[in-house]
Amino acid sequence: MKFSKLSQLFLVSMIGLLVATLLTSCEIVTIDYVFVASSAGSGIGSAGQIETYDADSQTGALRSGQPTVSSGGISPVSMAITSDYANLYVANQGNPAASPVVSPTLVHFALAGNGVLTLKDTVTLSTTPVSIAVNAAGTYLYVASGPNPSTLTAYSLSSGAIGSVASQQPLNLYNAYASYSTDVIVPTGVTVLPNGNAVYVSAYDQSAYNPGGSTSSTANPGWLFGYTTGSGGALTAAPNPYEAGIRPAGLTADPTNRFIYVTDFASNELIGYTILANSTLDYMVNGPFKTGNEPQAVVVDPRGLYVYVANELDSTVSSYTINLGSGTPSASYNQTGSANSTDTQPVAILVDPALGRFVYTANHLGNSVSGFKMNPDTGVLAQTQATPYPVGYHPTALASVPHGNHATQTVSP
């Protein structure tokens, strides 16, 4: 069949109109901004950077968003965002081997509703930061640093700006463990309860656990340090830290201030604690709970229903359903029985704050972010479209905010 030129023009026009209509109907709607902290290059001393990605509301797929910004230092390792989503903080470890030495820093960015980050202030640190967290009121920023020395420091915040040190506590074994008071403690993570009443730091005793090296202590290797908060940001240590397996790696609190979960990197386990009066802790009697190999980061979804663990060696995510009475996590599986595979070596994990239905991991050796779509009724995960998503070199940390004024999934403490 032959077409006249007029018929051909009409056909082309109709096809163009159809394509435009389909593109419009499939237009990507951003539901969250996802921030990724990584290195700008593979060379020693490469500057840190923060990349911004837009998350699609229907699929969870990520695409490049606002321009990448400098993290304000070298080797960014942790990020935290205020509960009003107006401020982002990043901890940079610096480079003590550089000449001249590059000091570790805490950097504050103002965070606009469209995902734009604007550098506001920088604090130079004397110790190496490992992990940071900010309380829900946005009044204190907590920094776990070490080793040599190992400390928990509370910085005051005023309209997002980082102020002076409000309180600082050493991370060491004391009182009943006085004979181990000189052991080298290595912090691995920090979290603050949603109600702001307590702060917890996961750490291990390098004098007792030092794979490939010598040990000089018979102390329990893994610990969880607890601190209650007081007026003016004061931190009061629990009488003694809590045992936490062999090498605790990451920790998180549930949104109702009832449970703490800690990953044990060396034992391939998730340790659960119940939060009692005065923010003291008690072990979940039926724990610890099996994970994949070398569990690292852990997160509870905004509704407090599910726990997700990033397993470094397996390059997988373990998913669990929380028993709302006891806090016990029960493993949940895909019907196919397949693992929730990520790219290589996931080291950070988050659940999106807007819908609470997308899970992302930062894959350190994969130089990527993996995405999953959560079944809100079961917690089971399925990979998002086109995952994994290429990002900067050796990503280490993730953070996310909802797009604009979108409602968030939360549980009132």
What total of structural domains would you count in the chain?
1
CA 6 to each of CA 3, 11, 146: distance values in angstroms, whole numbers, following the listed order:
8, 9, 75
The pTM (predicted TM-score) of the whole model is 0.91
Tell me whether residue 25 is in a domain: no
Tell me whether residue 257 is in a domain: yes
Tell me whether residue 125 is in a domain: no
**Given the structure tokens 């902290």, which residue do they identify?**
37
Under a CB-based contact definition with an 8 Å cutoff, are residues 281 and 297 in contact? no
DSSP 56-99: ETTT--EEE-SPPEEEEEESEEEEEE-TTS-EEEEEE--BTTSS
Tell me whether residue 77 is in a domain: no
Tell me whether residue 359 is in a domain: yes
Tell me whether residue 240 is in a domain: yes
Minimal CA–CA distance to 50: which of 127, 109, 105? Answer: 109
Query: Around Cβ 333, how many Cβ atoms within 10 Å?
Result: 14
Tell me whether residue 75 is in a domain: no
Question: CA-based angle 91:383:310, to the nearest 5?
Answer: 40
Range of the domain at 345: 132-401
CATH classification of the domain holding 356: 2.130.10.10
Tens of each residue's pLDDT in the chain, 413 residues: 444 544 444 443 444 444 333 333 446 699 999 999 999 998 877 899 999 999 999 999 999 999 999 999 999 999 999 999 999 999 999 998 887 889 999 999 999 999 999 999 999 999 999 999 999 999 999 999 999 899 999 999 999 999 999 999 999 997 668 889 899 999 999 999 999 999 999 999 999 999 999 999 999 999 999 999 999 999 999 988 999 999 999 999 999 999 999 999 999 999 999 999 999 999 998 999 999 999 999 999 999 999 999 999 999 999 999 999 999 999 988 766 668 999 999 999 999 999 999 999 999 999 999 999 999 999 999 999 999 999 999 999 999 999 965 545 555 44
Tell me whether residue 198 is in a domain: yes
Output the six-digit token pair for 117. Answer: 């980050």
